[in-house]
């Protein structure tokens, strides 16, 4: 047998609850570290013997090396076939699509998403199941449990494969099929959206600017926007994926997508701007002098999705993560469809999508998607926006004004305190927990508290329960603040403070967002003692 069995040391690095594992790249590159995690994953899903797996990643540093290890381990563990994106590339939504389209048993996606890449930055690996979505809490717990006890892994003793050549080859009895990473995804998009209408919009001089941030969406955006839809060459910026994302931070928000923001604010701007993240599942939408908050984008897309052919019969329901604004709830109510409020993380949408109860899903962190795959999908959101712009003939700011006039404006912002001391962060959350019972009826910085609790979720489809999913305080005037600790950071703890207030007076729709939220921000400071406990007098990132 050419298979080697290696001894390994158990490790307990995977937090149960988060999808996959994200670590500093040098941690992942330690001898046997990746191997341990891959074997724990294979074991945790009940083995891979005879199975078909999709493998690909966002092209960041270590992507190609890690894929070679995964392929050799899949072969040694008896997998029947691995379908790999050419060059090791697959965006997260494209991988989800391939799992579904090819009827695979699951997939391994290599990415740390919006975290920077490079030899001293971040790396990650996650497993998606046969429905194309992130592993459920139950599967994640099994992988975690297995990682604590494994004492060996299996790997084939074979040479590296050439990932750049399309076609099929054999790796110690396992078929390896290298496929174009873009084609199937682009075909799916053509089936959902009115490409003729978008092509006509572009032909009429409508200018689009898509910033791929040197991450995985470059090849997808160039094929779809420039080749299939005829946007002029150069409409896609930073379109070549680089192992370190050009030294940037591939997180599509006004802070990290500064260049795009600068292009979209001023006199002679493009008509539509967008950006995506490292692995292509997030989106930022910005019109001329008009940044669209992700929560508003979700609400607007849900409201107008029927203008695209793929959703012409309407939507079954809307799902949003709890910290996302309630703008989408107002749309669901007006349409008479169900709305679901889930914990943070796309995996919680899977059961609702599989059961046909939700059609459109979204998160405040720039993730939007639908039942077409089981991941959030950056380019999908961009194309739905373009389809709506083409169908209505309106501009981004005009569409937003119409939306607020109909539903009111949910002023919204997230304040992140990054890489703070972990004990201080947990102390702050405990301090909040300790106050919850007595808060209702109290005043915080002049705002009256209506209710306060720690969010727990009972999945209406499979009955599973997730607890400790964020502390939320609702105010009597309709405002809200949510506190939670990030599950995706790789250094210290990151405190996220989510702030919201509904404004229904049209005369007050053009306030500065931070000013409009000032009372809620003051209340958040008072109740959580953020400055004292984090040692920071301002957030690191405001989105």
Which residues are designated catalytic?
Answer: 113
How far, in Å, CA of 384 to CA of 381, rounded? 5
114 binds ligand VG1, rule: CB under 6 A:
yes
Is residue 148 within 8 A of residue 10, CB to CB? The reply is: yes
Q: What angle do CA 368, 101, 226 make, to 5 degrees?
A: 60
Determine which residue in the list 58, 194, 281, 329 makes contact with ligand VG1, applying CB under 6 A: 281
Beta carbon nearer to ligand VG1, 235 or 368: 368
Question: Both tokens of residue 63?
Answer: 């992507």
CA torsion 280-283-284-286 (nearest 10°) is: 110
Tell me which of 43, 226, 277, 296 binds ligand VG1, using CB under 6 A: 277
Q: Could you tell me which stretch among 112-120, 198-206, 291-299, 381-389 binds Co ion (CB under 5 A)?
A: 112-120
Residue 374 has φ and ψ, to the nearest 5°, of -120, 30
Q: Pick the piece of the chain touching ligand VG1 (CB under 6 A) from 214-222, 294-302, 359-367, 437-445.
A: 359-367
| Smallest distance from ligand VG1 to CB 233, Å | 28
- Alpha carbon distance 394, 510 (integer Å): 19
CB 414 within 8 A of CB 498: yes
Cβ proximity to ligand VG1: between 43 and 281 the closer is 281
With CA atoms as reference, report the closest residue to 524 among 491, 493, 492, 501: 501
Q: How far is the CB of 513 from ligand VG1 (least distance, A)?
A: 18
By the 10 Å C-beta count (0-12 exposed, 13-18 middle, 19+ buried), 157 is classed as exposed
Footprint on residues 294-323 left by ligand VG1 (CB under 6 A): 321
- Nearest approach, Cβ of residue 391 and ligand VG1 (Å): 28
Rounded to whole angstroms, the Cα distance separating 37 from 147 reads 7
When binding is defined by CB under 5 A, the residue of 137, 211, 251, 277 that contacts Co ion is 277
What minimum distance in Å lies between the beta carbon of 501 and ligand VG1? 20
User: 497 in helix, strand or coil?
Assistant: strand
Q: Which does 486 bind (CB under 5 to 8 A by kind): Co ion, ligand VG1, none?
A: ligand VG1
- Among 49-57, 207-215, 275-283, 526-534, the segment contacting ligand VG1 (CB under 6 A): 275-283
Tokens of 258: 């500064």
Binding residue for ligand VG1, selected from 241, 270, 345, 519, defined by CB under 6 A: 345
Cα(500)–Cα(411) distance, integer angstroms: 6
Q: How far apart are CA 498 and CA 344, in angstroms?
A: 12
**127 in contact with ligand VG1 (CB under 6 A):** no
Where does residue 234 rank: exposed (0-12), middle (13-18), buried (19+ CB within 10 A)?
exposed
Q: Is 113 in the site for Co ion (CB under 5 A)?
A: yes
Residue 346 interacts, among ligand VG1, Co ion, none and using kind-specific CB cut-offs from 5 to 8 Å, with: ligand VG1
Round to whole Å and give the CA distance between 65 and 57.
11
Span interacting with Co ion, options 182-190, 270-278, 356-364, 459-467, rule CB under 5 A: 270-278
How far apart are CB 160 and ligand VG1 at their closest, in Å? 28
| 3-class secondary-structure state, position 4 | strand
DSSP state, 136?
Answer: P
Judged by beta carbon, residue 98 or residue 516, the one nearer Co ion is 98
Q: Is the four-CA dihedral 385, 389, 390, 395 of positive or negative sign?
A: negative
Q: How far is the CB of 311 from Co ion (least distance, A)?
A: 23
Say which entry of Co ion, ligand VG1, none residue 325 contacts (CB below 5 to 8 A, set by partner kind): none
Among all chains, which residue has been given the structure tokens 């005043």? Answer: 443
If one asks whether residue 279 binds Co ion (CB under 5 A), the answer comes out as: yes
Nearer to Co ion, 185 or 202 (CB): 185
Cα 428 to Cα 531: distance, rounded to the nearest angstrom: 10
Integer Cα distance of 303 and 297 in angstroms:
10
Q: Which of 237, 486, 534, 543 binds ligand VG1 (CB under 6 A)?
A: 486
Site size toward ligand VG1 (CB under 6 A) is: 16
User: In the block, which residue shows the tokens 């008479």?
Assistant: 336
Using the contact rule CB under 6 A, the part of the chain among 74-82, 198-206, 427-435, 483-491 near ligand VG1 is 483-491
Contacting residue, 43, 363, 459, 500, with ligand VG1 by CB under 6 A: 363
**Residue 346 sits in the site that holds ligand VG1 (CB under 6 A):** yes
Q: Can you read off the two tokens belonging to residue 234?
A: 């150069």
Question: Contact at 8 Å (CB) between 330 and 299?
Answer: yes
For residues 332 and 326, the answer to whether their CB atoms sit within 8 Å is no
Nearer to ligand VG1 by C-beta: 238 or 543? 543
Distance of closest approach, residue 281 Cβ to Co ion, in angstroms: 4
Q: What six digits make up the tokens of 511?
A: 């306030």
Considering only residues 281, 377, 416, 500, which one is a binding residue for Co ion as defined by CB under 5 A? 281
**Cβ of residue 167: shortest distance to ligand VG1, in angstroms?**
30
Q: Is 16 in the site for ligand VG1 (CB under 6 A)?
A: no
Q: Which of residues 407-446 bind ligand VG1 (CB under 6 A)?
A: none
Q: Does 377 bind Co ion (CB under 5 A)?
A: no
Which pairing describes strands 338-342 and 317-321: parallel, antiparallel, or unpaired? Answer: parallel
Q: Site residues (CB under 6 A) for ligand VG1?
A: 113-114, 277, 281-282, 321, 344-346, 363, 365, 367, 486-488, 496
Q: Under the rule (CB under 5 A), what is the footprint of Co ion?
A: 113, 277, 279, 281
């Amino acid at each position: 047998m050419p298979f080697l069995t290696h001894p390994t040391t158990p490790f307990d690095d995977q937090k149960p609850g988060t999808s996959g594992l994200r670590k500093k790249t040098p941690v992942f590159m330690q001898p046997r570290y990746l191997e341990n995690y891959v074997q724990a994953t294979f074991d945790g899903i009940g083995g891979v013997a005879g199975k078909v797996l999709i493998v690909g990643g966002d092209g960041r540093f270590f992507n190609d090396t890690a894929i070679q290890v995964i392929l050799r381990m899949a072969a040694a563990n008896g997998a029947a076939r691995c379908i790999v994106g050419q060059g090791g590339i697959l965006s997260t939504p494209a991988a989800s699509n391939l799992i579904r389209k090819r009827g695979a048993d699951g997939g391994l996606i290599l990415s740390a998403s919006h975290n920077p890449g490079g030899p001293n930055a971040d790396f990650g690996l996650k497993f998606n199941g046969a429905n194309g979505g992130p592993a459920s809490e139950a599967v994640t717990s099994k992988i975690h449990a297995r990682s604590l006890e494994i004492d060996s892994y299996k790997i084939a003793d074979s040479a590296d494969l050439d990932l750049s050549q399309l076609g099929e080859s054999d790796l110690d009895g396992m078929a390896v099929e290298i496929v174009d990473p873009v084609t199937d995804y682009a075909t799916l998009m053509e089936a959902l959206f009115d490409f003729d209408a978008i092509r006509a919009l572009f032909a009429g001089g409508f200018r689009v600017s898509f910033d791929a941030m040197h991450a995985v969406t470059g090849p997808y955006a160039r094929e779809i926007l420039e080749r299939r839809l005829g946007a002029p060459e150069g409409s896609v910026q930073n379109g070549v994926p680089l192992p370190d994302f050009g030294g940037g931070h591939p997180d599509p928000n006004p802070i990290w997508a500064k260049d795009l923001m600068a292009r979209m604010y001023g006199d002679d701007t493009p008509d539509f701007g967008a950006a995506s993240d490292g692995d292509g599942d997030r989106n930022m939408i910005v019109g001329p002098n008009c940044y669209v908050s992700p929560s508003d984008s979700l609400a607007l897309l849900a409201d107008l999705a029927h203008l695209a052919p793929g959703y012409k019969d309407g939507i079954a329901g809307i799902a949003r993560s709890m910290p996302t604004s309630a703008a989408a709830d107002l749309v669901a109510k007006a349409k008479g469809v169900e709305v679901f409020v889930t914990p943070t993380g796309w995996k919680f949408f899977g059961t609702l999508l599989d059961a046909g109860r939700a059609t459109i899903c979204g998160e405040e962190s720039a993730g939007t998607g639908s039942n077409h795959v089981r991941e959030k999908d950056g380019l999908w959101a961009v194309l739905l926006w373009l389809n709506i712009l083409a169908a209505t003939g309106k501009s981004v700011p005009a569409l937003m004004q119409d939306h607020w006039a109909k539903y009111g404006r949910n002023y919204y912002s997230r304040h992140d305190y990054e890489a703070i001391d972990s004990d201080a962060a947990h102390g702050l959350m405990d301090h909040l927990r300790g106050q919850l019972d007595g808060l209702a009826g109290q005043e915080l910085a002049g705002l009256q508290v209506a209710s306060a609790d720690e969010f727990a979720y009972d999945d209406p489809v499979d009955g599973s329960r997730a607890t400790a999913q964020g502390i939320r305080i609702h105010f009597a005037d309709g405002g809200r603040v949510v506190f939670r600790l990030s599950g995706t950071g790789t250094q210290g703890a990151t405190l996220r403070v989510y702030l919201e207030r509904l404004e229904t007076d049209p005369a007050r729709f053009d306030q500065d967002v931070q000013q409009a939220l000032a009372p809620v921000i003051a209340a958040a400071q008072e109740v959580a003692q953020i400055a004292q406990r984090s040692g920071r007098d301002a957030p690191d990132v405001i989105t």
